[in-house]
Structure 1
Amino acid sequence: MAHVRLFRHYIHLPFVILGLIDLAVVALSFALAAFFRYFGEVTFYFDNIVFVIPSAVVFGILNLTVMIALGVHQARVEEGMSGMMLRTIMAMTFAIPLHGVAYFVANDWLWYLGNFGLLTSATVLAIFSLGIARVFFFAVVGKDRFKRRVLVLGAGRRAKQMFEDLTTPFNRKGFNLDGFIPMPDDTVEVDEQYLINLPTSLHDYVLRHPVREIVVAVDDRRRGLPMEDLLECKMEGVHIIDGANFYERESRKVALEMITRGWLVFSDGFTVSSVYGVGKRALDILSSGTLLLATFPIMILTAIA
């Protein structure tokens, strides 16, 4: 699987792994900086490492949170490694005040976060370490080890639209396209070089090729689908997904032209629950109350004037 889903948002697996690597690298950088600044002796350091670990973990989590908020990992695709590292430097700089807040809240456990010199040294060391780790990581990812091999069922209007919209590297980082299988009686609009003419059946093709996902992007399902082949592929562990869901997952957008009433009915959106309603109302009250308290002095001064 080349993606995970969190709060109905698709996150590509390479970036999840990279985030965990970043967390480990940043935490280890803090621990290493603490070793050189306060200890200097390996035995003495490991005897007291239990006091360093909480600060190192919080240091890593806070930095990773700010990096995610600034879109550091997505910048690798849009701006390249230089843009990614520039955002990393900015994120780790912005995170320094957060470390001070964490120390103020829990100084009994986070002793080392209160030292500005240690924070500076750990931040500089983490930036260089992250650069090295990411170079090695993307050297591995560049070999398509995290990408799925995708086969599209259909070669009509919907398939062509999906192909044209997902041709950019930004939208193709999670999969490799194997080709399109035209359906009988369908108008073929996809270029002939991307078509796959099955010699036998869809199931046989999947057995001979390492296809991990089949995207159903036919224009009219009422004309029939090779359900037996799809069921056989499903039994082989191949993931079957609708074209609209695939488009949403890969491009982070909804293709309105591909949406049908059936898709809306069977989608997992429009969920309403009492917990969701209470949470939404509580957030509304909290936001409005905070805004009222912040602007109340100005309102008083305005009324007096």
Structure 2
Amino acid sequence: MIKIFNHYLHKRTLQQVFFDLGLVIAAVLAAIVWRGEDWASAVSLVGHACLLSLGMLVINTALGFYQRVHNRSISQSRARAILSLVLAIPLTFLVFAVFPTALASRESIAMSAMIGFVLVMIHRVYVAHSTPQSMMRHRVLVFGTGPRAALVGKTLKNEDPHVDVVGYYASPNEAESEVSAWGILSKHKSLTDTALELEVDEIVVALMERRGGSMPLRELLDCKLHGVRVVDVATHFEKTKGQIRLDSVNAGWLIFGDGFSQDGLRTVVKRLFDICSAIVLILLTLPIMLVTMAFIVMESRGPIFYRQERVGFNGRLFNVVKFRSMRTDAEQDGKPRWASAQDDRVTRVGRFIRKVRIDELPQLFCVLNGSMSMVGPRPERPYFVDQLTRQIPYYAVRQSVKPGVTGWAQVKYHYGATLEDSAEKLQYDLYYVKNHSLFLDVVILFETVGVVLMAKGSR
């Protein structure tokens, strides 16, 4: 894992992204050389190549080609690759139409870009279904054999195919074991000797109890001095799953650890980013919003927009605005309710616009007036916030940043309508509050495109 602007990215993912960006640019440059174009007049095409590469990156991210873990068959990956190429064709002609070039061979160069896209997709499908080489694998030793160690091992095996869990090293004070006996390493050797003999890259300390001499601090320090990375459970889940687990953190870890910075420069940059991106998206989606308004009026009587009080930054109340997707008598009894999977209160138009997230578009105006941000935790109703704050620790921390139209929890977890779902989503919200940056905001917006295209988690 590599930490970039406080956000963890897998090293192999970065390699794949840069390889794909470079392949398209190289295809365009090769066409320039082959056609014998004057380099002085062809400099502008470097900009075209960069735009095409970024566009391809957005498409591939949206289609899930940079996910470390997936359950797609090779046929499904090929189908997504074909869809990616179908989307890349109009993108290529759009770039050359919006930014025309005087070169006579621009059609040939555009075709070269398409060849680059084809090569990228062939490589994407191959990488998605290839087994990582042994030299690229990450060897992890879990220190502990209890429930927390079992959870760490399960997460590593499910979330990262590039990791080898070499075994579990039992603490002398652990009374019970919840991992397979075959995975427990012999205690005849010290932790340091075991780690060096197995060529371990990382040790995850997963103990339920750390007091009473259960942690061999000297041996862990020796491992670190020998180049073995040593992390606790909270850091492990933060970098592996992009969440801060409620069962593995305490107030001290949150206070004394890094992150959770709310400096003035970050606030100004985020506000400028919100204004610019909201204006661009409003202009791009204005025709869609007008058509949606017409369909809402035709289907049922009532207001086009739906306004509801939500809890925002520092607990301040504001009115969120959406396209109305439910009947006007959806909460006739006055009791707030979460939306369910097959909610009979949703209209026919509402079911469609909720599925593709069109109902969220009016929130862009909330971004412009400053009550919301483009990226942040989902704004909840005061009734639910009061309830969840009493029942879930650290729930109020999510109110230290502005709520967002989209967010880390929204792209990582499906729609939640229970206390357990809210606790699970809070773990992703805490990760965002701790590590939020402009870079993470851009990553979330890229992933939001995929969520919308695949209609994931809508209710």
Q: Same fold, TM exceeding 0.5?
A: yes
Q: Does 1:265 align with 2:255?
A: yes
Answer yes or no: is the 8 Å Cα contact 2:31–2:108 preserved in 1: no
- C-alpha distance in 2 between matches for 1:75 and 1:84: 14
Gaps of 5+ in 2: 294-459
In the TM superposition, residue 10 of structure 1 has moved relative to its aligned partner by: 1.9
Identity between Structure 1 and Structure 2 (%): 29
TM-score by length of 2: 0.53
How far apart, in 1, do the equivalents of 2:278 and 2:123 lie? 44
What residue in structure 1 maps to residue 196 of structure 2? 207
Structure 2 counterpart of 1:51, which letter? A
Q: CA deviation at 1:264?
A: 1.9
Where does the alignment leave 5 or more consecutive residues of structure 1 unmatched?
299-305
Q: Deviations over 1:133-182 (max 9, x none)?
A: 446656875223322100111111211222234432xx132311011111
Q: Does the 8 Å CA contact 2:157/2:163 hold for their aligned counterparts?
A: no
- Of the structure 1 ranges 280-289 and 210-219, higher mean CA displacement relative to structure 2 is found in 280-289
The answer on 1:157 being equivalent to 2:147 is yes
| Separation in structure 2 between the aligned mates of residue 113 and residue 186 of structure 1, nearest angstrom | 74
What residue is the counterpart of 1:250 in the other structure?
Answer: 240
> Deviations for 1:1-30, whole angstroms, at most 9, x for unmatched residues?
xx2123433221112112222222222333
More helix as a share of residues: 1
CA RMSD across the alignment: 3.6
User: Helix, strand or coil: the match of 1:161?
Assistant: helix
Deviations 1:90-137 (A, max 9, x none): 344434555556546654xx55699467535531x2344224444665
> Could you tell me which residue of structure 2 aligns to residue 26 of structure 1?
24
Paired residue type of 1:11: L
- Cα shift at 1:56: 3.4
Secondary structure at 1:178 match in 2: strand
CA separation of 1:118 and 1:80: change in aligned 2, threshold 3 A: farther
**Out of 64, 83, 86, which is 1:90 matched to?**
83
Distance 1:289 1:128, change over 3 A: closer
**1:20-59 alpha-carbon deviations (Å, 9 max, x no partner):** 22222222333445667xx2xxxx36x6498266143443
Q: Trace 1:132-211 onto structure 2 (pairs within 5 A).
A: 132-134=122-124, 142-168=132-158, 171-187=159-175, 188-211=177-200
Structure 2: how far apart are the matches of 1:262 and 1:174? 32
d(CA) in 2 for partners of 1:82, 1:137: 14
Matched residue, 2:210? 221
**Contact persistence 1:103–1:114 (CA under 8 A):** no
Map of 1:51 onto structure 2: 42
How far the C-alpha of 1:291 sits from its partner, in A, is: 8.8
Question: Which residue of 49, 54, 60 maps to 1:61?
Answer: 54
Residue-pair matches, total: 283
Structure 2: distance between partners of 1:61 and 1:70: 14
Contact 2:150/2:178 (8 A) holds in 1? yes
Using the alignment, how far apart are the partners of 1:288 and 1:127 within structure 2?
A: 30
